[in-house]
Homo-oligomer: A and B are copies of this chain.
Amino acid sequence: MAKPERVAVIGAGGFLGTNLARFLASKVGELRCYGRRRSFPEALHGLSWVTGELADARIAETVAGCDVVIHLASTSTPATADRDIVADAEANVMGSLRLMEHCVAGGVGRVVFLSSGGTIYGIPTVIPTPENAPTDPITAYGVAKLAIEKYLEIFRRRHGVDYRILRVANVYGPYQTAEKGQGVVAAFLTRALADEPLEIWGDGQVVRDYVFVADVAEAIWATMHHKSLSRVFNIGGGAGASVLQIAAAIEELVGHPLQRRFHPARLVDVPVSVLDHSLTTNELGWMPAVDLEQGLAQTLEWMRQFRSGQAAC
């Protein structure tokens, strides 16, 4: 596949979307951004933007004629989806299927879908976990991602819309805020800068695979135009870190000790999740370039600027 000229990003206003849109702006001929809201409107200044839900009919115009549609949109998180399983499936599974119908009608060449490496395998039987491991999610969030993945193959077979799936680990970096209850890095940095105690669910031994957002943008770019035999790729940092290790690394960065406040463990957390991304490296030549120390430093730097910007307002 040649480099895509016309690209739509669905869910472009969130954390990953904002980073991705900025990354793609100079790389593609026409970039169309679509989402419920822009978390950082100024960061997307000058980019084409349409406000809408996944279910809105106007999304048809955004995707029509695109070489690639990148689907990042989700109304829920692993922690929230279980609260109303039916509503979550309606919004995210059915919403994604309706998006696919618009992609078929609009002659879209390829859909790149952001799936969830941290929830789709459930409690992993192999660490690090490869793409062909069993997929037994323990959250409605993970089941919805899995269902969408499987339906993409049916749309490919029936309607010829190709796809790539990125099962992404815990993404962190600039433009992630602690507001939506997502992202331990953003939550800890926010607390650290406010001199508040870090909130930890369980004993802090839960291990996650952290990947810097710029690396994820590079991975998406690779799946947008590379030829590959496979369609499902793990995207992770390649090593696990426990919540307590993240806390310690942030302590190191800010240069002073931080209090920890422990809460009961959550049902939705698997004990460990680390992805094997060797297939991605072999087929796409992708590797995470930013290690945890560098990534945390960049994120802290951004968050300091963001907070001083807020304070200035």
Given contacts A86-B94, A97-B89, contact A154 B140 (CB under 8 A): yes
Q: Are B94 and A89 in contact (CB under 8 A)?
A: yes
A267 to B158 CA separation, bound complex (whole angstroms): 9
Q: Are B132 and A134 in contact (CB under 8 A)?
A: yes
Q: Convert A68-106 into 0s and 1s, putting 1 for each residue whose CB lies closer than 8 angstroms to a CB of B.
A: 000000000000001001100110011001101100000
Chain B residue numbers with a CB within 8 Å of A150 are 136-137, 143, 146-147
Given contacts A157-B267, A158-B82, contact A89 B151 (CB under 8 A): yes
**A155 an interface residue at 8 Å Cβ cutoff?**
yes
Per the 8 Å Cβ criterion, residues 113-139 of A in contact with B are 132, 134-139
A78 to B290 CA separation, bound complex (whole angstroms): 46
A157 to B86 CA separation, bound complex (whole angstroms): 15
**A251 an interface residue at 8 Å Cβ cutoff?**
no
Chain B residue numbers with a CB within 8 Å of A85 are 97, 100-101, 151, 154-155, 158
Q: Are A82 and B147 in contact (CB under 8 A)?
A: no
Interface footprint category on A: 20 to 34
Query: A231 to chain B: closest CB distance in Å?
Result: 11
Q: Are A93 and B89 in contact (CB under 8 A)?
A: yes
Q: Are A97 and B86 in contact (CB under 8 A)?
A: yes
Query: A116 to chain B: closest CB distance in Å?
Result: 13
**Closest B residue to A97 using CB positions:** B86
Q: Are B101 and A94 in contact (CB under 8 A)?
A: no
Q: Are B90 and A94 in contact (CB under 8 A)?
A: yes
**Closest B residue to A140 using CB positions:** B154
8 A-B pairs within 8 Å (CB atoms) are namely A86-B97, A86-B98, A89-B93, A140-B154, A143-B147, A143-B153, A157-B267, A158-B267
Using A85-B155, A93-B147 as known contacts, list a sample of 19 further A-B pairs with CB atoms less than 8 Å apart, ordered by residue number in A: A82-B158, A85-B154, A86-B94, A86-B98, A86-B101, A89-B94, A89-B97, A90-B94, A93-B93, A94-B94, A135-B135, A136-B153, A137-B150, A137-B153, A137-B154, A143-B147, A143-B154, A146-B150, A157-B267
Sorted from nearest, which 7 A-B pairs have the closest CB atoms? A147-B147, A143-B150, A86-B97, A140-B154, A82-B158, A143-B151, A89-B97
